Structure 1
Amino acid sequence: MRNFRLSSTALALLCAVSLGALGTADARPGGGSSIGSRGSHTWSAPPRTSITPGWARPMDQSATPRTPPGYGSPGYASPRPMPGFGAPAYRPSYPVRHPFMSGFAGGFLGAGLFGLLSGHGFMGGMTGGTSFFGFLLQVLIIGGLIAFVLRMFGNRGQRSPMGMPSSTGAPPFVNVGGSAPVTLTNDDYTSFQRLLLDIQAAWSAQNMRALASMATPEMTGYFNAQLSDLASRGARNIVSNVQFQRGDLSEAWREGNLTYATVAMRYSMTDVTTDAMGNVIDGSSTEPVTVTELWTFVRADGRGNWILSAIQQAG
């Protein structure tokens, strides 16, 4: 019997060490990651709020495809198309690149034409020993002017009437989803706060049916995968004493018949992970932790309640 007790104790210690080595920190709903979808704003940084003055962390997992760089909604790092990747390099015309040289040549051409019209020749007339060299100089100048004019017309042929680079078939910059801002009511904010508390409670109870009624299928899948991962390691995460502290709207918008709202929320909780025998392997049952996250909710206008569609980490 004593040997059995020692073996059980050793097994519990072994489980605790192995679970601790695998890492169970941030085991709350979402696992401390940025997951989910925000419609056409999924890959756009949410506007900053008073409690999230820094940028939110981009999505680590999302069912929404990432928009190509430079197109769609402005993202966390959506650079403008580089030359050779969707848009031609802009090359200013010769007069813009060399204003001094073009001005000098233009003035020289004007003086020569004035000489021809006044009957003094292109260079004002050259006689004596300088006539031959003057002729050669005129030929060189005329040839250079012809090349200059041809270059100008060639540049013009490659540009649109407004002087912008010609199109190469690249897709235009569009506002994906056609989103429009909306105004929320106090009832909406009350729903967000209630969902925060109810989702934490359903998570701790491992009630997937309740979670599925309060989150999108995508978020439900993430929750299920996270709980399954904990269960496969003989662990369980319990979030209790959740206290909502403060909330601040980041943005709210409508896409078709769906309305989205991203809200920055700060709350405290007791976050504990235990093994199969109830031993605490991560967190503390006496020291609460404070978390600030951005939760995005969605609903069908006129029919349905708000449900969770994304969680993003602040900063």
Structure 2
Amino acid sequence: MLAIRFFRSQSAYNPAPTTARASGGTGSFGRNAAARPEPSNATAFPIPGIGSGFGGTSQATASDEIRLTKTDLDTFQQRLTEVQEAFGREDHAALRRLATPEMVSYLFEELADNAKKGLRNEISDVGLLEADIAESWREGDRNFATAALRYESRDVTRDRISGKIVEGQADQPTETTELWTFMRQNGGDWKLAAIQQPG
């Protein structure tokens, strides 16, 4: 359902989800969450011009729209760092706290796949460069918001036994732009619900 809700606004932009890290690492950081096929009637929204301020929700009805504040955007920035670093630490408890159960299942699957291959994905020095709200809406007692986030991080994949880097560069931060959808229920904390990586 979240994958469907990702694409509600007008645009010719049609993101092609991928499961590879933009930084080139082996781990896909739960990108499978965005790789499910779209139904034929799903439409796409444009990534807003990063740095242009809050995006609109022009096609949402008045009852669907929610208004976000800078505090919400600050929370999304915090979640970006927390989720990335928790994933790099393989901190299952933190991921359960920061993401929805559906998203947690994708992240855990990714961690298990890395472990099976004898790999460990390390993520550090996460820093948000620019962000915009692409869309925000309400469904019953749940609020959703999709943010376009451009950030940099040090992202490497190491052999679990030797510690040798097999992908990425420890001394070279990489830049990534992604769409992160967050959800909160009954006014609770925002949690990561989905990640979309533009193709």
Which TM-score applies when normalising by structure 1?
Answer: 0.49
**1:41 Cα deviation after fit:** 1.2
Q: Does 1:216 pair with 2:100?
A: yes
Q: Does 1:189 pair with 2:157?
A: no
* Counterpart in the other structure of 1:252: 136
Q: Partner amino acid for 1:280?
A: I
| Relative contact order, higher structure (CA 8 A, sep 6+) | 2
**1:203 Cα deviation after fit:** 0.7
**1:47 Cα deviation after fit:** 6.1
Matched residue of 1:203: which SS?
helix
Equivalent residue in structure 2 for 1:75, among 38, 43, 54: 43
1:271-294 Cα offsets, whole Å, 9 max, x none, are: 100002100101000111100000
User: Would you identify which runs of 4 or more consecutive aligned residues in structure 1 move more than 2 Å?
Assistant: 37-40, 44-48, 53-59
Q: Percent identity?
A: 36
Task: Map residues 1-315 of structure 1 onto 2, 5 A cutoff.
Answer: 37-38=1-2, 41-42=5-6, 44=7, 54-58=13-17, 59-61=34-36, 67=39, 69-70=40-41, 74-76=42-44, 180-276=64-160, 277-302=162-187, 304-315=188-199
1:169-216 Cα offsets, whole Å, 9 max, x none, are: xxxxxxxxx971111011111110000001111111100110011101
Matched residue of 1:180: which SS?
coil
* Counterpart in the other structure of 2:27: none
- Whether the aligned pair in 1 keeps the contact of 2:3 and 2:36 (CA below 8 Å) is no
Partners of 1:180 and 1:197 in 2: how far apart?
Answer: 29
**1:38 Cα deviation after fit:** 2.4
Q: Partner amino acid for 1:244?
A: L
Higher strand share: 2
Relative to structure 1, the CA distance from residue 228 to residue 264 in structure 2 (aligned partners, 3 Å threshold; closer, same or farther) is same
Q: Partner amino acid for 1:204?
A: G
Which TM-score applies when normalising by structure 2?
Answer: 0.75
Relative to structure 1, the CA distance from residue 310 to residue 57 in structure 2 (aligned partners, 3 Å threshold; closer, same or farther) is same
Q: Partner amino acid for 1:301?
A: N
Partners of 1:280 and 1:210 in 2: how far apart?
Answer: 25
- Whether the aligned pair in 1 keeps the contact of 2:144 and 2:184 (CA below 8 Å) is yes
Partners of 1:211 and 1:196 in 2: how far apart?
Answer: 12
Matched residue of 2:5: which SS?
coil
Larger radius of gyration: 1
Supply the RMSD in Å over aligned alpha carbons.
2.5
**1:310 Cα deviation after fit:** 0.4
- Whether the aligned pair in 2 keeps the contact of 1:262 and 1:294 (CA below 8 Å) is yes
State the number of aligned residues.
Answer: 166
**1:311 Cα deviation after fit:** 0.2
Q: Partner amino acid for 1:294?
A: L
